[in-house]
Amino acid sequence: MTFKDISTGLQHIGMPTNDIEKTIRFYEALGFEVAFRMNNNGEEVAFLRLGDLTIETYQNFNAAEVNGAWDHVAINVTDVDEARRLADDMGLEVIEEGELPFWDNGVKYFTCLGPNREKVEFNQYL
């Protein structure tokens, strides 16, 4: 099995913000709609969707506010446990993993670092 066998495409792009209301207004003006919103352990989170593009923005008050400040790219997978096995076999550096209460039944994910220290998240809807 390979990543290509279990990956179905881009799930979302993660972007921290210092002002979630300002961020939502900006992207709504570009045609995005709020697809899901919640407070996750004190951090406001919103998923903004335009067609098949989804941005996860979260107010953590740590946004760099510089060009290139996107935090991560999330790839949708059908089997996150298999994706983790593949990542381990490749020796990828996993920096975070867990479950989050997003969408109807939550998500299970892990994040690893790419060759440029970029964060790549593998994410499965539960």
Range 96-105 average pLDDT:
96
What percentage of residues in the chain have a pLDDT greater than 90? 91
**Res. 69: pLDDT tops 90:** no
Residue 20: C-alpha distances to residues 16, 26, 72, 101, 114 (Å): 9, 10, 17, 19, 27
**Helix, strand, coil proportions of the chain in percent (round to 5)?**
20, 50, 30
Q: Give 13-49 pLDDT, tens digit per residue.
A: 999 999 999 999 999 999 999 999 999 999 999 999 9
pTM across the whole model: 0.89
Say what the pLDDT of residue 115 is.
84
Rounded to the nearest integer, the mean pLDDT of the chain is 95
Pairing assessment for the beta strands 72-77 and 119-125 based on DSSP bridges: parallel
The residue among 22, 27, 6 whose CA lies nearest residue 83 is: 6
Range 87-106 average pLDDT:
96
CA 33 to chain centre: 17
CATH number at residue 12: 3.10.180.10
Range of the domain at 52: 3-125
The count of structural domains within the chain is: 1
**Res. 59: pLDDT tops 90:** yes
